[in-house]
Structure 1
Amino acid sequence: MTNPEPETAAAPAPRRRVYQRAPKLDAVLAEAIERARQGVLEIAPADQVGRHVSAVAEGERLVVHRFEARVPGYGGWQWFASVARVPRSKHVTVCEVGLLPSGQSLLAPDWVPWSERVRPEEAAEAREAEAAEASTDADADAEASTEASTEGSAGIPAPMAQDGSDETSDAAVVSEEDPEAPEGRSGDSTEMPEHGSESAAGQPDGEAGAAGSADEAPEANG
């Protein structure tokens, strides 16, 4: 039994080149300049629509007319109006109108991401500003804490100074003679005998009183 020969890979079919034919400018639509201008005047004032610039075929039975735009701030821009018609008809229909830039128009620069717009020196300045702000906040916090501690220590009441002014005044009041006191007695001369003190006879006060009462008893009985 013989081994079958391996099948050879089929060669890819050659690609056919497609030639795109430029659309033919429709004569009826190319001559519809006033119809295209009327379409533009529906959205723009008459003094802002200038001369007719061009008529370009954009497809089969589709033409775009361009007019000069006299709009402040839009130098080089052009009004456009696209017109079309159905086969075997000469009725022109305005499809779309608007404002488009030309090769001499003033355009905004291309958008660039923020990461690519920031330069190295700008990034360094931003970091320095953040560091300065952080140090300022730290200083403010330290100052606030210092003020709080100072206020707390100042809020403790100081001990009241004690002097002899009250005692002196009380002593002065006591030393004054009471006008309502009985005669022969004064506030400063009155002294209370201490307990257990002896009388003039040399005996204690208690014993002297007992002896006096004993001497008086016989006389009362006699």
Structure 2
Amino acid sequence: MISLRSRAGKPDSPLAKAVDLARAVVLEVADPAEVGDHLGAYAEGERLVTHHFSCARPGYPGWYWSVTLTRAKRGKDITVNEVVLLPGDEAIVAPAWVPYKERLQPGDLSPGDLLPVEDEDVRLVPTYLVGDDPLDDPLDTDAKAQVRRVAEDLGLGRVRTLSREGLDMAAERWHDGDGGPDAPLAKSAPENCWSCGFLVRLSGSLSTRFGVCANGNANDDGRVVTFDHGCGAHSEVKLARKQQPLPMPDHVLDTITEDGLETL
């Protein structure tokens, strides 16, 4: 038996020696073939010792059986506190739970599904605080403030609009996605989207980096793309001479008459 020291000090001797009892407890909840070697005993506290046994149960590599024993002061009778199956450092365990809102991916919503936005969502701010586009500056500060006050009084426009955080999150997501510069399609493209005639530019602060593809023959049709994205459907792409299709030969005119067929 291997006795492991812990912060609680040396394991209680009678409890540390009760390996057979600990194994018998494990065998009450597991088949004999599922219980392996004794891995050691260590102190949990005063007269409180835990024994570990390797687990041979199929599907549980890296797990171990844990049995905790105790006894009263000056007592000889040993009491079983608990027996559990625990994961070790190399055990395969389920991934950490993630809230459903963080697990959602584009395309997960079905017709009729609702996804309400939290009141304190950092991506949104009240429209009257920043205007309909927080980074579009057609008016000076005083004029924009006046427009906001009027819109607030009359209840006009959208209730909330994108905040700086919301714009940055969208820009980062689009840049790192399939419409960004690192997509395999973009790396093999002959030209970038910024010079393509099918690019529809966005308005506001995102107009300096993003647009929407309007080429019905392209993979990104109707999707947001970065200016440094690209594909083979660029409006100015030209085929090299060796890539051009071979010209069709002239039609052959059949001049054989019925009399000629008889001589064949």
Report which of the two has the higher share of helix. 1
Structure with bigger gyration radius? 1
Same topology, TM > 0.5: no
Report which of the two has the higher share of strand. 2
TM bin (shorter chain) = 0.3 to 0.5
